[in-house]
A and B are shown apart, each in its own frame.
Chain A
Amino acid sequence: MAGNTEPLPPRAKLAVTAGKAAAAVSRAAGRGSGSVIGGKVALRLDPDLLAKLAQNLDVVLVSATNGKTTTTRLIAEALRAAGPVVSNALGANMPAGITAALAGSGDARYGVIEVDEKYLAAVARDVTPKAIALLNLSRDQLDRAAETRMLAEHWREGLSGSKAVIVANADDPLVVWAASSSPNVVWVAAGQEWKDDAWSCPACGGVMQRPGDDWFCGECGFRRPTPSWALSGDHVLDPHGSAWPIRLQLPGRANKANATTSAAVAAAFGVPPQAALERMYSVTAVAGRYDVVSFQGREIRLLLAKNPAGWLETFSLIDGPPAPVILAVNARGADGTDTSWLWDVDYSRLAGHPICVIGDRKLDLAVRLEVAGVDFQVCENAAEAVRQCPPGRIEAIANYTAFQDLRRVVGN
């Protein structure tokens, strides 16, 4: 529980120094922040470095298909009420990126760490977390990722011996399946709009019944656990039945859900809901997401949506028609190279909005929107798309590399 007082052994110190040197070289070469390459160099010199860096921290891990970067940020803000925090705030969420973030931990007492879904079990073994937050699991980049249910199975096996408090979404059957092998779970009714990856019981394969907000398998009895925390409209309900208003600057139901989970995690670290939530209100944007940028006389809100579940939550938070919408989709390595998932997104929800499509795969979007029966314009680039929109607020929704491209163009 104490601060980071125990000195690192010499080999670990050497590894940290070498990692920082590699990061500096990478930065100088113009290859981004250099944190990942620094972490890789450091881990090669000392494979146990991550465990050593974490040993004096109270660690919480955050994993999910969607919302992990934002939730990591909200938890980090909340825990700052109790002491200094180190976090991989920019979303470098594999072991090298996590190692690099922790190497700069200084006098931090808490480590709030976002972890890629595939690495959760391994990182949880290395850093012995005090808590693990599991938000949701759904289809994502299926041309390069493991099957969604297999990920849940992998989590389940990896977490079964963990002593951590698992803070898990009771409304996602795959997350419940993953978490329920653990002895110590705090269930949060955080909701989940996307349901199409959990119609089949993760335990027995039976067809899931989903009346209202409830769910259960008609065959084996696997069912929604009773939550102790819940998101209810604009309030967090805590285990004592108290309702705490959520006044985030971040938009949307999904972020209220993220705040609810974050409040439950903060409570596990002794930070009461009110103090935790108030600290979350300072967050306006997370690694550029939700930022509103002035460009060519318009206010562009930048929204990241990488997969069908993410697009569904994003549609529910944008301004209604006639707010113009720019859609940007790429299919580079980091996005997944198959665009078939666009057809699992219900674009008819955008009817009535003026729509401009851009990005490497704008023609896939054009066919998708044509079949959805909504009007759209195909534009060459972001600047042209913005010019097509009337002055005022524009909602720009982009997948991963398209989002980075957009940020560069609009100067974010």
Chain B
Amino acid sequence: MSESGLRVVWVYPDLLSTYGDQGNVLVVERRARQRRLGVQRIDVRSDQPIPTSGDIYLVGGGEDRPQRLAAERLRRDGGLNRAVDNGAIVFSVCAGYQILGHEFVNDLGQREPGLGLLDVTSTRGEGERCVGDVLADMDERLGLPQLTGFENHQGVTHLGPTARPLARVRLGRGNGTGDGTEGAWNDTVFGTYMHGPVLARNPQIADLLLKLALDVNALPPADDRWYEALRAERIAAATQPA
């Protein structure tokens, strides 16, 4: 953490900010400030170098062509990989999640190399797009309450041996592999298909990122009233469809 506080990097808003995922940055910033932590938000456009000294990197979802362009530019830049080598925390969503893996299928139908920061490989599903509310149980090692979110993707993501599923779906498709897994994580890098945005629906995950970045076990409490009300409503809506 630098003297100005936590450095939160929003990766490529020009390409990977199409599905409201910048809400994840806003929630991380807000929850840090509520704990009186200094925060510096750094938006990095795809014609700028990725800084390697950030504490938390957030990567969002995007459309198919921007996803390919983002992967090309992130590979060429190399900054995100160096940041992870330096111990940075990365949280990624949907197209961003696929980019962090070994490879994915791009808009031209070709296999596109990713950054290899997560031990996952993505292909494109044959069936219908996965669209709708999701409810899932978080990996028990994370000790977090249920995951709620909204998925909108055609991807199928297979996990390798060094990635753990972020959650197991009760409702929805998640990784689309049919084995009930959703998302992936290792010690410092996280990926999910959930929009919503996911950190607005699951502020405890935002707090987890803050704790990992600060290397602390607990944070002062924050006012979670509206988050909890929204969570209760979305979980009820997912389990009792109208």
If A366-B229, A371-B23, A371-B30 touch, whether A207 touches B18 (CB-CB below 8 Å) is: no
Any B CB within 8 A of the CB of A139: yes
Between A200, A218, A340, A364, the greatest number of chain B beta carbons within 10 A of the residue's beta carbon is seen for A340
> Quick check: B230 and A371 within 8 Å, CB to CB?
no
If A207-B45, A371-B26, A371-B30 touch, whether A200 touches B15 (CB-CB below 8 Å) is: yes
* CB < 8 Å neighbour of A371 from B65, B131, B132, B200: B200
> Quick check: A340 and B63 within 8 Å, CB to CB?
no
Q: How far is the CA of A370 from the CA of B223 in the complex (A)?
A: 10
Any A CB within 8 A of the CB of B218: no
Any A CB within 8 A of the CB of B87: no
* CB < 8 Å neighbour of B21 from A150, A340, A364: A340
**B-chain residues with CB within 8 Å of residue A200 when the two chains form the complex:** 14-15, 46, 65-66, 69
**B-chain residues with CB within 8 Å of residue A150 when the two chains form the complex:** 63
Any A CB within 8 A of the CB of B128: no
* Chain B nearest CB, measured from A374 CB (Å): 12
**B-chain residues with CB within 8 Å of residue A149 when the two chains form the complex:** 63, 65
Which A-chain residue is minimally distant from B223 (CB atoms)? Answer: A370
If A147-B64, A207-B46 touch, whether A196 touches B196 (CB-CB below 8 Å) is: no
Q: How far is the CA of A259 from the CA of B46 in the complex (A)?
A: 36
Which B-chain residue is minimally distant from A342 (CB atoms)? Answer: B20
> Quick check: B152 and A367 within 8 Å, CB to CB?
no
Q: How far is the CA of A363 from the CA of B131 in the complex (A)?
A: 21
Which A-chain residue is minimally distant from B132 (CB atoms)? Answer: A337
> Quick check: B14 and A139 within 8 Å, CB to CB?
no
Which B-chain residue is minimally distant from A364 (CB atoms)? Answer: B230
> Quick check: A199 and B152 within 8 Å, CB to CB?
no
Q: How far is the CA of A344 from the CA of B65 in the complex (A)?
A: 20
Give the tally of cross-chain contacts (CB within 8 A): 98
Per-position 1/0 for A329-341, Cβ under 8 A of B = 0000000011111
**B-chain residues with CB within 8 Å of residue A143 when the two chains form the complex:** 131, 150, 152
* Chain A nearest CB, measured from B206 CB (Å): 10
**B-chain residues with CB within 8 Å of residue A368 when the two chains form the complex:** 23, 200
**A-chain residues with CB within 8 Å of residue B150 when the two chains form the complex:** 143, 337-340
> Quick check: B227 and A199 within 8 Å, CB to CB?
no
Interface size for B (C-beta < 8 A) is 36
Per-position 1/0 for A230-248, Cβ under 8 A of B = 0000000000000000000
**A-chain residues with CB within 8 Å of residue B230 when the two chains form the complex:** 363-364, 366-367
Any B CB within 8 A of the CB of A119: no
Interface size for A (C-beta < 8 A) is 33
Per-position 1/0 for B194-232, Cβ under 8 A of A = 011100100000000000000000000001001101100
**A-chain residues with CB within 8 Å of residue B11 when the two chains form the complex:** none
> Quick check: A343 and B22 within 8 Å, CB to CB?
yes
Between B20, B63, B65, B233, the greatest number of chain A beta carbons within 10 A of the residue's beta carbon is seen for B20
Any A CB within 8 A of the CB of B27: yes
Any B CB within 8 A of the CB of A142: yes
> Quick check: A371 and B27 within 8 Å, CB to CB?
yes
Would you list which residues of chain A between 100 and 140 have a CB under 8 Å from chain B?
Answer: 139
**A-chain residues with CB within 8 Å of residue B233 when the two chains form the complex:** 363
* CB < 8 Å neighbour of A142 from B19, B66, B133: B19
* Chain B nearest CB, measured from A203 CB (Å): 12
**B-chain residues with CB within 8 Å of residue A142 when the two chains form the complex:** 18-19, 152
Q: Write 27 A-B pairs (CB below 8 A) sorted by A numbering.
A: A142-B152, A143-B131, A144-B131, A147-B63, A148-B18, A148-B63, A150-B63, A199-B14, A199-B45, A200-B66, A207-B47, A218-B47, A339-B20, A340-B19, A340-B23, A340-B195, A340-B196, A342-B23, A343-B21, A343-B26, A363-B229, A363-B230, A363-B233, A370-B227, A371-B26, A371-B27, A371-B30
What would 11 more interface pairs be, CB under 8 Å, given A196-B17, A199-B13? A148-B63, A149-B63, A150-B63, A199-B15, A200-B65, A200-B66, A208-B14, A339-B196, A340-B150, A367-B230, A370-B223
